[in-house]
């Protein structure tokens, strides 16, 4: 690191010294430098030291002290929350097909640890997702024997309890069922009514749609069933 000093003396001259052995001098009165220096300057001397001074070399850089970890802030209180849920189950012969808590006549049903209700599982995951909580498989693991064959309404009631505990209520829900067979048109209103009852919601805020999969892949070949759900949770008025 180099040090620089500005010294004033007479006569008028500029001395540039890059080392002790090689000085350079320029006169401000030379044709190329005329007018560059104000007339009030008597002398300008710039010197460069080949080595850093002892004072500079002795400077020690202190490491910044890390701030003490602060306590975690509580989550923000949002006016609304949005959640999405998805579920899919394989269909196997001889099993009951339960959708939205309603037993649907069919030659096959969902293979699952619980009752395999693809719609209720999907709604549960949407509510848990909106609340920022773990998914249904973490709260009700399929490795726990007590959930074997359990009605999925148990899972949904717990999700609704958590929703109210967090200070929210259902704004609206939109669900889509995807299956090739059977046709759900004769059962849609019964499914929606039961879903509204489990949610404690007015039918005007719960929508249910059913789609085929145009005979494409396992859904279209009647080997599986799937559902998507989107929920909007609104902060309760105090």
For CATH 3.30.1330.50, list the domain ranges present in the chain.
80-235
E strands present in 133-187: 168-178
Find, among 94, 98, 92, the residue nearest to 227 by Cα: 98
The pLDDT of residue 68 is 59
Structure tokens at 119: 């719609």
| CATH number, domain 80-235 | 3.30.1330.50
* Number of Cα atoms under 13 Å in the Cβ half of residue 202: 5
For the chain, 238 residues long, give each residue's pLDDT as a single digit of tens: 444 444 444 444 444 444 455 554 545 555 555 555 555 544 445 445 555 554 444 455 555 555 656 677 777 789 999 999 999 999 999 999 999 999 999 999 898 888 899 999 999 999 999 999 998 889 888 888 888 878 999 999 999 999 999 999 999 999 999 999 999 999 999 999 999 999 999 999 999 999 999 999 999 998 999 999 999 999 998 7
Backbone angles phi and psi of 182, in degrees to 5: -80, 170
Task: Provide the token pair at 41.
Answer: 């300057």
Q: What is the reported pLDDT for 10?
A: 46
Quote the pTM value: 0.68
Are 223 and 180 in contact by the 8 Å Cβ rule? The answer is: no
Predicted pLDDT of residue 143: 86
Helices and strands: H and E segment counts in the chain: 6, 11
Adjacent-strand bridge partners of 99: 102
What is the model's pLDDT at position 97? 95
């Amino acid at each position: 690191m180099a040090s620089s000093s500005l010294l004033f003396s007479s006569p008028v001259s500029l001395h540039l010294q890059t080392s002790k052995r090689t000085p350079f001098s320029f006169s401000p009165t030379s044709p190329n430098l005329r007018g560059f220096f104000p007339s009030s300057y008597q002398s300008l001397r710039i010197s460069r030291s080949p080595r850093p001074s002892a004072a500079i070399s002795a400077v020690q850089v202190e490491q910044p002290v890390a701030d003490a970890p602060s306590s975690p802030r509580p989550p923000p209180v949002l006016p609304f929350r949005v959640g999405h849920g998805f579920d899919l189950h394989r269909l196997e012969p001889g099993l009951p097909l339960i959708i939205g808590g309603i037993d649907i006549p069919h030659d096959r049903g969902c293979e699952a640890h619980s009752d395999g209700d693809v719609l209720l599982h999907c709604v549960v995951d949407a509510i848990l997702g909106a609340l920022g909580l773990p998914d249904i498989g973490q709260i009700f693991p399929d490795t726990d024997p007590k959930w074997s064959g359990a009605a999925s309404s148990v899972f949904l009631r717990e999700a609704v309890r958590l929703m109210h505990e967090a200070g929210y209520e259902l704004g609206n829900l939109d669900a889509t069922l995807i299956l090739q067979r059977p046709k759900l048109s004769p059962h849609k209103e019964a499914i929606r009514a039961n879903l509204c009852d489990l949610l404690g919601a007015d039918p005007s805020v719960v929508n249910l749609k059913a789609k085929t999969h145009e005979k494409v892949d396992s859904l279209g070949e009647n080997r599986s069933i799937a559902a998507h759900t989107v929920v909007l949770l609104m902060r309760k008025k105090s």
